[in-house]
Amino acid sequence: MKELLAETADRAARYVTGIGNRRVAPLPKDVARLEALGGPLPQLPSDPAEILALLDDIGSPATVSTTGGRYFGFVIGGSLPAALAANWLAGAWDQNASMYVMSPVTVKIEEIVIAWMLDLLSLPPGSGAGFVTGTTMANLSAVAAARTALLKRAGWDVEEDGLFGAPPIRVVVGEEVHISVLKALSMLGLGRSRLTRVPVDHQGRMRADALPQLDNHTLICIQAGNVNTGAFDPAREICARAHEAGAWVHVDGAFGLWAAVSPHYAPLLNGAGAADSWAIDCHKWLNVPYDSGVAVVREPEHLRTAMTLSAAYLPASEFREPWHYVPEASRRARGVELWAAMRSLGRSGLRDMVERNCRAAKMFAERLGEAGFAILNDVVLNQVLVSFGSPEETRRGITEIQSDGTCWCGGTQWQGHTAMRISVSCWATTEEDVERSVEAMRRIARAGKLP
Ligand SMILES: Cc1ncc(COP(=O)(O)O)c(C=O)c1O
């Protein structure tokens, strides 16, 4: 075992230290070689060292270098050194983080992380939290808590009696709502098409002046950090209006809530801390390994009521039992990496990481703007939208940038325009990475100009 783990550490270190010299997207021939991992299931056992070698030799070249400094697709963080190392140790522990009796260490760590996180993100002390796979599940968990609370106020016990015959919940979202919120709403029986959609402005921010009448059976889902522009909904105004009417405000703050760690960017949050629940991603801007998100609910009992489970064989407990706050029972110990990331960076390190990424986003916008390309959004955070000209020129530019391998960006449609998205979310991105990427983008986009 010791030799196997040492060999694993060697191979992983080679991968991690070589990431800056690799192509970002793998070559098609390396992806084709993945067939070698298949074939008929072996009849007999093999040496684990051989298995590891096969996985590394065939698998590693086919990975996308999302942990390197030049991956700007979607919103993807890398893995901080302490977080990756903690992930390995936690893998060796193989704790089931569902109950105190199974893993006191992970329950204690979750408690510590909740307190640190509420403090860092300026969320209400005493809020309840569940550690889930990412923002989609954080949205689901928090919206489930909202559903429980709103129906309870209407005299309905949704956990016992279900949704058939329940008083209706009205759901309000912005036109720019993230698809993961729609997925959460649909999974919870609140539907995708019975929603009231509020118009947005040119940055994708919900227009507070266009809010419909709110009441105490309304759930309003707002966002902190639009996936295209990085813009924030006007939370202060919306929360004030909603709370006056007794409505519940949920914030999809996947990456945007991390703006709170920087005094410079925190004002963007616009009072999002006044909401009732929040969904936060940790594999994005906290840069912990996949998969990791947190659902936070101001009044913990609503999350607990929505998620709790009990059975005769489960011990009574005086501790915060994690499985009362998440959809799963058995779970891996995700809190360990969050603890390591926060503990290793500290407040100032987290602030530096977020500010560095935002500076890099500004640098992209400046350099590409100077080169004559149109920047389609106000670059307020870490997201940049670029047009290389006509929709066809932009689409061609994106495809060629992806296959060139220097960096990787995806595409989008933004308010009628075809755009390339640049999301700077990785701790490892340096100014040099930005310069190299801009150089590749300019070269490719210029060469692809239509006559
Ligand atoms: C605003 C927003 N919400 C939700 C999500 C979904 O997050 P996850 O993929 O972690 O479920 C994303 C992902 O980019 C996002 O940007």
- CA 244 to centroid of ligand 1, rounded, Å: 29
Q: How far apart are CA 293 and CA 137, in angstroms?
A: 8
**Phi–psi pair at 183, nearest 5 degrees:** -65, -45
223 lines ligand 1 (CB under 6 A): yes
75 lines ligand 1 (CB under 6 A): yes
- CA 114 to centroid of ligand 1, rounded, Å: 20
Q: Pairing between strand 410-414 and 417-423? A: antiparallel
- CA 119 to centroid of ligand 1, rounded, Å: 22
Cis preceding linkage at 291, omega within 30: yes
3-class DSSP assignment, residue 192: coil
Angle 141-71-338 from CA coordinates, rounded to 5°: 40
Write down the residue that tokens 């909603």 correspond to.
242
136 lines ligand 1 (CB under 6 A): yes
Q: Residue 451: what pLDDT?
A: 67
Residue among 287, 321, 276, 255 at smallest CA distance from 428: 287
Quick check: 66 and 76 in contact, CB under 8 A?
Answer: yes
Quick check: 313 and 293 in contact, CB under 8 A?
Answer: no
User: Which of 72, 76, 143, 178 should be mutated for ligand 1, with most atoms under 8 A from CB?
Assistant: 178
User: Which of 180, 203, 251 should be mutated for ligand 1, with most atoms under 8 A from CB?
Assistant: 180
Cβ contacts of 182 within 8 Å, gap of 6 or more: 173, 192, 195
252 lines ligand 1 (CB under 6 A): yes
User: Which of 75, 177, 280, 281 should be mutated for ligand 1, with most atoms under 8 A from CB?
Assistant: 281
Residue among 302, 298, 295 at smallest CA distance from 276: 298
Q: Which atom of ligand 1 is the closest one to the Cα of 137?
A: 11
Q: What is the CA radius of gyration of the chain?
A: 23
| Ligand 1 atom 16 nearest Cα | 227
Greatest CA separation found in the chain? 74
| Ligand 1 atom 3 nearest Cα | 254
293 lines ligand 1 (CB under 6 A): yes
Residue among 265, 194, 191 at smallest CA distance from 231: 265
End-to-end CA distance of the chain: 62
DSSP characters over 400-415: HHHHH-S-B-EEEEET
| Ligand 1 atom 2 nearest Cα | 254
Both tokens of residue 168?
Answer: 């209706």
Residue among 308, 320, 301 at smallest CA distance from 97: 320
Q: How far apart are CA 238 and CA 249, in angstroms?
A: 8
- CA 285 to centroid of ligand 1, rounded, Å: 11
253 lines ligand 1 (CB under 6 A): no
- CA 74 to centroid of ligand 1, rounded, Å: 9
pTM to 2 decimal places: 0.97
Q: Which residues of 126-151 are buried (b: 16+ CB within 10 A; e: fewer)?
A: ebbbbbbbbbbbbbbbbbbbbbbbbb
Q: Which helix (H) or strand (E) holds 268?
A: none
Over its length of 451 residues, how does the chain's per-residue pLDDT go in tens digits? Answer: 999 999 999 999 999 999 999 999 999 999 999 999 999 999 999 999 999 999 999 999 999 999 999 999 999 999 999 999 999 999 999 999 999 999 999 999 999 999 999 999 999 999 999 999 999 999 999 999 999 999 999 999 999 999 999 999 999 999 999 999 999 999 999 999 999 999 999 999 999 999 999 999 999 999 999 999 999 999 999 999 999 999 999 999 999 999 999 999 999 999 999 999 999 999 999 999 999 999 999 999 999 999 998 777 777 889 999 999 999 999 999 999 999 999 999 999 999 999 999 999 999 999 999 999 999 999 999 999 999 999 999 999 999 999 999 999 999 999 999 999 999 999 999 999 999 999 999 999 999 877 6
- CA 253 to centroid of ligand 1, rounded, Å: 8
178 lines ligand 1 (CB under 6 A): yes
